[in-house]
Amino acid sequence: MKVGVVFGVSELANPKAFEKKASEFMTKLAGEFEVVGGFFVSTKADFKEAKEEVNFNEVDAIVLYPLTGGTEGPLKEFFVYRRPVVIYGDPFNNSLAAGIELREYFRDRLVPSTLVKDFNELKAALLGYEDMRETLDKFLRMRIGLIGRISPWLINERFELPYTRISLKKFYEYYEATTDAEGWEVVEEIVGKAVEIREAQREDLIRAGRIYLAIKRILEDYRLDGFTIGCFDIVMKSKMTPCLALAMFNAQGIPAACEGELNALVGMMIARRFFDKPAFMGNIADYGDDYIILAHCTAPLIGRYIIRSHFESGTGVGVDVQLPKGKASLLKIRGRRAVVAGVEVAGQEHSDFRCRTQVRLKVEDAMDFIDGTLGNHHLLVYVDSEELADLLSELGFEVMLY
């Protein structure tokens, strides 16, 4: 196991006073693991120098040892590597105080973080990470993107993970590089398999296909595993929608969220990476004692579907998908918190006053779930709720299971 080590020393302290302690620590750790680094950092400039000397992306875990208090600033920068962290603290010089602060910083950003204060605990924590390496790598090495901006009505959106931002200007550059013929070619089969086509016109379908191609090329060029897009800005500017493209991507195994919501995207990524299942991202449209209705204008194309327009704007292309009946889970993620409920997909709803795909879910204690959930946009995933909750806990989420 390859372990990166970094020591933190306050700018007010003399690093020489800690050289012996650091050297003994490194020697002991090197007797058990392959060790790299061993830098002293006091400032962000020191962090940048450490980056030049060691590629911490190649280590299996990082050990941060705040030898004094006041070192949280430079040590927190190692979050960018998305590697499991063990923070070693000792009872002197405010070391543990700094360690507790650092641990919460990393946990808020969903980086596994453990605080220890003796060598046996340190060794056990590192070996625990080694046992979970495959699971953690699947999660920590996700490359996600935001095309455009987060929709301004997502007032509870809080997101601390790294992501790639692609401007709408750049999106339109990719879009303009496509042709009508290419756009029709990618949706022709989808159109042919539709049960019915209602409001959407051929021109709308061509533009939806061009959106799909533009995003596909963005994913390839930016090496993204999944994305979310600020779709309403496109609707307002161009009277076209990415709903069909998102439905296609999600059916093809590429997590794709709308409205620029990154938390929903993370949930979709987890569902796909660990269970190989797509997720339906929906609004809660109604609820009662034992049911919840989800609705949205995009859904993975995993059942019979009708091609329609986008509900709110009446333009572009939306999809009405008949999602399969059966056991599933309802998931909401916000930051490091998650709520999960076991549900049963009971059937479709058909109201002209809701988004196009509408699904009725049987939920025990639905009212309690509504009272305890973390905001709008929930994911419907065809996985066991207890398995999903257990996995989320392993990944560092604080989970409430209903």
Q: Looking at the structure, do residues 236 and 194 belong to the same domain, yes or no?
A: yes
Segment 162-181 shows an average pLDDT of 97
Q: How does pLDDT run across 28-72, given as a tens digit for each residue?
A: 999 999 999 999 999 999 999 998 999 999 999 999 999 999 999
Q: Looking at the structure, do residues 130 and 165 belong to the same domain, yes or no?
A: no
Domain with residue 65: its CATH number is 3.40.50
What's the whole-model pTM score? 0.93
Q: Looking at the structure, do residues 147 and 41 belong to the same domain, yes or no?
A: no
Q: Looking at the structure, do residues 128 and 154 belong to the same domain, yes or no?
A: no
Q: Looking at the structure, do residues 113 and 213 belong to the same domain, yes or no?
A: no
What mean pLDDT is reported for the chain? 96
Q: How does pLDDT run across 94-121, given as a tens digit for each residue?
A: 999 999 999 999 999 999 999 999 999 9
Q: Looking at the structure, do residues 15 and 124 belong to the same domain, yes or no?
A: yes
Final residue in a domain of this structure, among 88, 114, 139: 139
Using a pLDDT cut of 70, give the percent of the chain over it: 100
Q: Looking at the structure, do residues 96 and 132 belong to the same domain, yes or no?
A: yes
Q: Looking at the structure, do residues 267 and 253 belong to the same domain, yes or no?
A: yes
**In the chain, how many domains are there?**
2
Q: Which residues of 221-256 are buried (b: 16+ CB within 10 A; e: fewer)?
A: eeebbbbbbbbbbbbeeeebbbbbbbbbbbbeebbb
pLDDT of residue 381: 98
Using a pLDDT cut of 90, give the percent of the chain over it: 97
Q: How many CB atoms lie within 10 A of CB 396?
A: 19
Residue 158 has pLDDT above 90, yes or no: no
Q: How does pLDDT run across 211-256, given as a tens digit for each residue?
A: 999 999 999 999 999 999 999 999 989 999 999 999 999 999 999 9
pLDDT of residue 119: 96
Tell me the residue range of the domain where 333 lies: 142-401
Final residue in a domain of this structure, among 139, 155, 184: 139
Final residue in a domain of this structure, among 85, 117, 139: 139
Q: Looking at the structure, do residues 180 and 306 belong to the same domain, yes or no?
A: yes
Q: Looking at the structure, do residues 333 and 248 belong to the same domain, yes or no?
A: yes
Q: Looking at the structure, do residues 328 and 392 belong to the same domain, yes or no?
A: yes
